[in-house]
Copies of this chain bind each other. A is one copy, B any other.
Amino acid sequence: MFFHVQKLINQIVPDEPDPEAANALQEGLGGQFGEMRTMMQYLFQSFNFRGDAKPYFDLIQGIGIEEISHVELIATTINRLLDGSPRYQGKNGSVPGEKGATPLNVALTHGNIQHFLVGAQGAMPVDSTGNPWSGSYVYNSGNLVLDLLYNLMLESTGRLQKCRLYEMTKNKTARSTISYLIVRDHAHENAYAKALESLGVNWGKVLPIPKYDAMKLPEVRVLMEKGVHLEQHHWRLDGSEMEKIFRGPSPSGPGELHTTSKPPEGTPVKLGPIRPEEFAPGLPPELLELTQQAALLA
């Protein structure tokens, strides 16, 4: 059973809207190596887990639960990048399309047009070229060594793509989430590498992948100095044995891994503003009043 707290796992830094950065980030949400995929892959691996190696089960499932919060974080980041990007503020009592206005004109030439046409300046379960997320992405062979190996490769690919995303945009909203995910993918690389280490593999010097000192990126440095790449929470209200694996020397460089007993503090999320040019939520005054009556009920 799953529960929720209305907080984001990491803070999003405000900046200008940027629909092209939003589109790039879709790869990290709905792409083949994005957060929807890690989430679904680890959840299916935990549903189908065989044998009594419970700490391994708890490790995979724990990361899977965290990934749902990553989906929430990156989807919200994409929203922030899209929201207001048409620069139409509905001021002065103006009305969509009135007097030949084209408040959504930006959609024709920037980013993914469906962000404005199918959605209402919001995230979608697609990749950066608009291909929808596919269940065929989920890998779950049932063989523990193989699943761990795939997961290590998957997290490394995630870190690789996010490092590339960092190099594509200076937008602070985008970079704050990209940087956080670079560091968390690093932590997950550590987790799967450590699990394989416990089965006898010695990784030598090949980790992390990419073999790049992300401390050179200022936002990443702040997080790594706090050790965010070395820690992992289990996200289980009823406890977990993840800690039996996620501890000891990091397989990817200096530092000690440790499983935290408390989740990150998180930051509150605000609901997005109404966008009349998108007819979202599209309630006229009389219906808005009805929703307010509902909200006022004890």
Contact A164 to B104, CB < 8 A, known contacts A48-B79, A128-B113, A156-B149: yes
Contact of A129 among B8, B113, B245, B293 (CB under 8 A): B113
Inter-chain contacts of A131 with B (CB < 8 A): 130-132, 136
Interface centre among A121, A164, A245, A272, by most chain B C-beta atoms within 10 angstroms, is: A164
Please state if B200 and A161 are interface contacts (CB–CB under 8 Å): no
Contact A216 to B97, CB < 8 A, known contacts A141-B160, A204-B199: yes
| Oligomeric state, in copies | 6
Question: Does chain B have a CB within 8 A of A31?
Answer: yes
Please state if B5 and A4 are interface contacts (CB–CB under 8 Å): no
Contact A128 to B117, CB < 8 A, known contacts A3-B65, A235-B3: yes
Give the docked Cα–Cα distance between A44 and B119 (Å): 10
- Digitize A14-31: 1 where CB-to-B-CB distance is under 8 Å, 0 elsewhere: 000000110110010011
List residues of A (125-142) whose CB comes within 8 Å of B's CBs.
125-136, 138, 140-142
Contact A105 to B216, CB < 8 A, known contacts A24-B113, A40-B125, A263-B1: no
Inter-chain contacts of A230 with B (CB < 8 A): none
Question: Does chain B have a CB within 8 A of A223?
Answer: no
CB of A196, distance to nearest CB on chain B (Å)? 7
Give the docked Cα–Cα distance between A140 and B31 (Å): 15
The 4 A-B pairs at the shortest CB distance, nearest first, are namely A120-B142, A200-B204, A48-B122, A125-B135
Question: Does chain B have a CB within 8 A of A13?
Answer: no
Q: A1-B9, A1-B72, A54-B271 are in contact. List 6 more A-B contacts (CB 8 A).
A: A36-B40, A55-B291, A105-B168, A108-B169, A143-B160, A146-B157
Contact of A244 among B112, B117, B286, B297 (CB under 8 A): B297
Contact of A196 among B71, B145, B206, B280 (CB under 8 A): B206
- 23 A-B pairs within 8 Å (CB atoms) are namely A1-B8, A2-B235, A3-B5, A6-B236, A7-B238, A24-B113, A44-B122, A47-B72, A47-B122, A48-B123, A50-B120, A53-B295, A96-B163, A114-B127, A117-B128, A124-B138, A134-B134, A141-B280, A142-B281, A144-B282, A209-B282, A210-B282, A211-B287
Give the docked Cα–Cα distance between A198 and B132 (Å): 34
Contact of A274 among B3, B6, B50 (CB under 8 A): B50
Question: Does chain B have a CB within 8 A of A222?
Answer: no
